[in-house]
Amino acid sequence: MNERPAPAIPNTDVLVVGSVNEDHFQFVHTFPRPGETVAALASRRGLGGKGANQAVAAARAGADVRFLAKVGADAAAADALVVLRAAGVRTDAVADEAGYATGSAAIAVDASGENWVIVDAGANARLTPSDIDAEFDSHGAPLVVLTQGETPAASLEQAARRARQAGARFVLNLAPVLDVPSEVLNNCDPLIVNEHEAQAVASNLGLAPGGATELVAELASVSRSVVITLGAAGSVAAAGGEVWSAPGFPVDGVVDTTGAGDAFVGSLCARLALGEDLPAAMTWASAAASLSVERPGAAESYAAAVEVEGRLAQSGAIA
């Protein structure tokens, strides 16, 4: 596999290309069965979308973050921008798309903190390869380019292409799983998926099914590096013929698991951009994700860097 070209002088640590949603939460004791109506214990709304969540997580982990996205000209967009800017995310590349509403998600959270989610892409679907080109042409190369499966496929592919041309590190959180070209997967460093997504990607590639350790090694034959997240058990990764794992962290009660995976992904990219190697970045990201599940919501549940450092120190992961 070819080495990455030398990067140009970066304009930012992390460029996140992705989605913005207004999340509508309903907290319930148990999820309804088909045809059943249940009463909500409480409800709330907040910032969501994998791109927005991961941008906030990366900024809270200490990176300089620029966000490229599409929103509607509506109150949901205005609210989203307030939260993004408060977290330190640069939002001048978040553009209004006339005639479309900001993306939205309906989220139910049960008493154990588990969730189900229904997403309406809205303006997110209007992010185009031309938008990617305009960003790179105007602002140059970041250290890390991060995108997700919620990004339109053509734009995801263009982000990978422009990252490679600029010498930036390309990270893909393939959630949800899309059937992307092999040249996109070849450039991922890392490809980040959970166990179910890893199985789906392996199936798309005609690879043998298996457990996380077997799958991560198989997928690393296609991508530069691969991380498979394992929830409370941490994560496992492979690169250059090596396989290793990072631990999960004990939590003080699970309140809401919504966005925990995004906390992991955004934090990991920030720590890579700040110079940590992949194993160290994975450990940091696991600590950040563990703090997020102790609080309600997605982006608003993400901890500041000092809190993550405290958890790492408490666990003995850092001195």
**DSSP symbol at 95:** E
Tokens standing for residue 249: 């962290």
- Per-residue CA distances from 239 to 57, 246, 249, 279 (Å): 24, 14, 23, 11
Closest residue by Cα to residue 300 from 30, 13, 82, 78 = 82
141 φ/ψ angles, rounded to the nearest 5 degrees: -95, 135
CA distance 296 to 302: 10
Confirm whether 23 is a catalytic residue: no
What sign for the dihedral angle of Cα 286, 235, 251, 27?
Answer: positive
- The helix (run of H) or strand (run of E) holding residue 45 is strand 42-48
Q: How far is CA 185 from the centre of its chain?
A: 16
Closest residue by Cα to residue 69 from 81, 60, 87 = 81
Which entry of 92, 252, 262, 277 is annotated as an active-site residue? 262
* Active site members: 262
